[in-house]
Amino acid sequence: MKKLFDELRGIEVAVIHPAGSDCNVLVDQLKRIGCRVKVLWPCPATVPPGTAVVFLYIPGQQGESAPWTATDCGAAMIALVDYENPTVLKGLLEANAHAVISKPFRPTGVLSTLVLARSVHGYEQRLLNKVSKLEETLRSRRMIERAVKLLAELRSVSDVEAYDQMRRQATNKRLSIVEVASMIVNASDVLDGMGPINR
């Protein structure tokens, strides 16, 4: 539990909400937790750099939503709402918020919501990183498969032998097999662009 509090102390928090008693309750509680709070209104075009958590007011009228989402700003987002209506619910979904606090704001619940939002955001980031790595692996496999086919056709060997030749070349040149595959594919693309070779 101590580690949890230590992680929250000193984090940059942006509260995007009109000034007033509701805003003050939230800001005071965040400061008690140990967060460094910046109050912004009207909603800025971008979130200040280094912001770890954004408390974003979702207005009940159309056309007043933030020009960015939680995904865009790379921070955990907690939506602040007056009430629930179709416009607010649409705004919540568009903002990609990780948690919600409804008015009237009270000191109780701010800490648990803050912890939950950061946890959900962290999990989301880990999933996005995994997806990115899987996409990169898939691109690499496709590159290798294409290079194997090109080399097998060029040298009139089997796919297995072409792959072994690429692996040996990668070892000899101290390159990854993906780099060797990329060189083969790029060379083939260049030659294709030059048209037929006259003999």
The alpha carbons of the chain give a radius of gyration, in whole angstroms, of 27
* Inter-residue contact 159 to 148 (CB < 8 Å): yes
| Same topology between domain 2-124 and domain 135-193 | no
Distance, CA of 68 to CA of 136 (rounded, Å): 27
Per-residue pLDDT at 126 exceeds 80: yes
Task: Please write the tens of the pLDDT for every residue from 69-111.
Answer: 888 888 999 999 988 888 888 888 888 999 999 999 999 999 9
Listed by start position, the domains of the chain span 2-124, 135-193
CATH superfamily of 2-124: Response regulator (3.40.50.2300)
The least confident of 49-63, 159-173, 185-199 is 185-199
Q: Are 95 and 77 in contact (CB under 8 A)?
A: yes
- In the DSSP assignment, the letter for residue 67 is S
**Averaged pLDDT of the chain:** 89
Pick the CATH number of 135-193 from 3.30.565.10, 3.40.50.620, 1.10.10.10, 3.30.60.50: 1.10.10.10
